[in-house]
Chains A and B, each alone.
Chain A
Amino acid sequence: AQSVTQLDSHVSVSEGTPVLLRCNYSSSYSPSLFWYVQHPNKGLQLLLKYTSAATLVKGINGFEAEFKKSETSFHLTKPSAHMSDAAEYFCVVSDQNDKIIFGKGTRLHILP
């Protein structure tokens, strides 16, 4: 069965410092993996997706994620946090039947 685990429910970083949001998945097949962002009172927006092409995926707003099959991870990173990055982030996995599963979310706080 597919599952996705976001290891931190809250992450706080100072503005200008790196961001790391962790995501681990389990899947019997080669999954597709996504990160979505949800700003306060807004819907979800796709940040980036991995679909078995390059393992390092670049997304919008300077975010990127690396698919590591050996570690079953798909962590989201950004070199330098900006205040506008404060939001909730969801890691998502889909299986070969296109059933999608959301992680429980990580709320990112940016400290001035």
Chain B
Amino acid sequence: EAQVTQNPRYLITVTGKKLTVTCSQNMNHEYMSWYRQDPGLGLRQIYYSMNVEVTDKGDVPEGYKVSRKEKRNFPLILESPSPNQTSLYFCASSRTADMNTEAFFGQGTRLTVV
């Protein structure tokens, strides 16, 4: 089954404690991206990756890092989480960066930073 898998689904952590949210897709997609969803703001892109070893900042990259060492995985790293990073995070992948191709989304990771 074609899918994008995020882990964990729920996470509560303390300020400053480094964490990683994993994202994996099994569709051999080139393009992957991370979004955060906040009430009244819709989804905002954090980082995206056009292919292996190619990443770039989205609209709200501050406080986040990503890596793309292999095609299927695109982890999101918060080196020193802060309460304003409490949010719902989605990973997405698509065959190419061309938006004519459908994006597939993971089920989301709800992060709370206290």
Q: Which residues of A contact B (CB under 8 A)?
A: 6, 9, 32, 34, 36, 41-46, 49, 51, 90, 94, 98, 100, 102-105
Evaluate whether A105 and B99 lie within 8 angstroms (CB atoms) in the complex, with A43-B90, A44-B105 already known: no
- Total number of residue pairs linking A and B with CB closer than 8 Å: 45
| CB proximity of B87 to chain A, nearest CB, Å | 14
Q: Is B82 an interface residue (CB 8 A)?
A: no
When C-beta atoms are compared, the residue in chain B nearest to A46 turns out to be B102
B107 contacts A41, C-beta separation under 8 Å: yes
B42 contacts A105, C-beta separation under 8 Å: yes
Evaluate whether A102 and B43 lie within 8 angstroms (CB atoms) in the complex, with A32-B100, A34-B99, A51-B100 already known: yes
> What is the bound-complex CA distance between A51 and B97, given in angstroms?
15
B42 contacts A102, C-beta separation under 8 Å: yes
> What is the bound-complex CA distance between A43 and B99, given in angstroms?
18
When C-beta atoms are compared, the residue in chain B nearest to A4 turns out to be B42
Enumerate chain B residues within 8 angstroms of A32, measured Cβ to Cβ.
Answer: 99-100
Name the one of B42, B100, B106 contacting A49, with C-beta atoms under 8 angstroms: B100
Enumerate chain B residues within 8 angstroms of A98, measured Cβ to Cβ.
Answer: 97-99
Can you report 14 residue pairs joining A to B where beta carbons are below 8 Å apart? Answer: A36-B105, A43-B104, A43-B105, A43-B106, A44-B90, A44-B105, A49-B100, A98-B97, A98-B98, A98-B99, A102-B35, A102-B42, A102-B44, A103-B42
Q: In residues 1-36 of chain B, which contact A (Cβ within 8 Å)?
A: 4, 35
Q: Is B45 an interface residue (CB 8 A)?
A: yes
Q: In residues 77-114 of chain B, which contact A (Cβ within 8 Å)?
A: 90, 92, 97-100, 102-108
When C-beta atoms are compared, the residue in chain A nearest to B40 turns out to be A104
Interface centre among A6, A49, A100 (most CB of B within 10 A): A100
Name the one of B45, B98, B107 contacting A43, with C-beta atoms under 8 angstroms: B107
Enumerate chain B residues within 8 angstroms of A102, measured Cβ to Cβ.
Answer: 35, 42-44
Taking A6-B42, A9-B40, A102-B44 as given, write out 12 further A-B residue pairs in contact, using a Cβ cutoff of 8 Å, ordered by the A residue number. Answer: A32-B100, A43-B90, A44-B105, A45-B105, A49-B102, A51-B100, A90-B43, A98-B97, A98-B99, A100-B99, A104-B41, A105-B42
